[in-house]
Structure 1
Amino acid sequence: MSDAIKSVELEGQTSASPPARLSVTGCVLGCLGGVLLIAMMALTVCDVIGRYLFNSPIKGASELTEILLCAVIFLGLCAVSLAEDHVVVDLLTDKMPASIHPAREALTGVLSGLILMVIAWRIWVYAAQIAGYNGATTNLSIPIAPLGYFCAICAFAGGLITAFLPLKRAFLHAKH
């Protein structure tokens, strides 16, 4: 990338802006999510080809697609939290003084993180209920509870990250 493009990109960032690139962990999560997404796509393509050309669909393809989609979404939640790329609606924030942006971001980050942690707790409770009656998929008999626990752990990690990063930036901003 040329120096002119870099300087234009850096001008738009404030001292309270999130980092422009993902950490190694974020890249690993993104790559893993991409691999799962490609697996889901390949499974769907093979299922459609098998169904319409050979009149023989893949048994349990819809179950595997649902499981892969769930895993992609919750892995993506952690990667999005690390990159701080959540959907943001800033109808009023542009009119606020720049000096309160770090505190506002910290407050919204903590509230969003707490909401994600409550969601993680409820998913964990629900997964425990499913484990209690040995819930499994219909065709392939894949246990569902481990997926629920995985989703709960990812949501909890996403909540921690969502709360921590803006708080860290606000404290660093307050120091300066």
Structure 2
Amino acid sequence: MELLNKINRVINGVFMWVAGIVLATMIILACANIFCRIVWLPIRGTFELMGYFGAVITAFALGYTQLKKGHIAVDIVILGFPKKVQRILNAINCGTCVGFFIIVGWQIWRYATNLWRTGEVTETLRIIYYPFTYAVALGCFALAFVFLVELLNSLVGKKEDGK
């Protein structure tokens, strides 16, 4: 179980590093575009790239945010139940989320494969954008893996802090 927790932390840590690098790239691109607009030479495709970069950042941050319990959780009702019932409800929730995000990731992966096969490109820059779509699918799979590890921890009775 500890191995799965470690793999989970490593995968989502790497995704956060990549998201951080993409975010830094977005900042540099936005600043450069603002400067270039002052001299009437805006960078072509900035808006387009910002959208794709934003999608990658969001998708790659999902698993890490869940790992750190950074998502909003409304558990006021659940906290009134005994610990065993809380664990069961948590397991049901995690299992549902695993299934949902596996399906979402799979469908996005299929869409990305379709984009790849058809050779679709962006409107302004004419670049392929299936890699961004695959990245979003990977982010969904990473989130599903976080929920899977949480489900297994819940079933064996481990708390979130590993005790």
State how 1:63-142 maps to structure 2 within 5 Å. 63-142=48-127
Give the alignment partner of residue 37 of structure 1, picking from 23, 39, 47: 23
Structure 2 residue runs of 5 or longer lacking an equivalent are: none
For structure 1, the 5+ residue unaligned runs are 1-18
Aligned length in residues: 154
Taking structure 2 as the reference length, what is the TM-score of the superposition? 0.81
Q: Which has the higher contact order (CA 8 A, sep 6+)?
A: 2
Contact 2:12 2:142 in 1 (8 A): no
Which secondary structure state, in structure 2, belongs to the residue aligned with residue 38 of structure 1?
helix
1:124-156 CA distances to partner (integer Å, 9 max, x unpaired)?
A: 122122223211112222111222122112212
Could you tell me how far 1:25 is from its partner in structure 2? 4.2
Quote how far apart the aligned CAs of 1:159 are.
Answer: 0.8
Root-mean-square deviation (CA, aligned residues, Å) is: 2.4
Q: Contact conserved, 1:75 with 1:154, CA < 8 A, in 2? A: yes
Q: Cα gap change, 1:86/1:130 in structure 2, threshold over 3 Å: closer, same or farther?
A: same
Describe the SS at the equivalent of 2:157: helix
Q: In the TM superposition, what is the alpha-carbon distance from 1:108 to its structure 2 partner?
A: 0.5
Aligned counterpart, 1:50: 36
Distance in structure 2 (CA, Å) of the matches to 1:151 and 1:79: 14
2: CA distance, partners of 1:28 / 1:101: 31
**Cα separation, 2, equivalents of 1:82 and 1:94:** 20
The amino acid across from 1:105 in the alignment is N
Contact 2:98 2:147 in 1 (8 A): yes
Identity of aligned residues (%): 22
TM-score (norm 1): 0.76
Q: Output the CA distance in 2 between the equivalents of 1:76 and 1:146.
A: 17
CA distance in 1, matches of 2:10, 2:142: 16
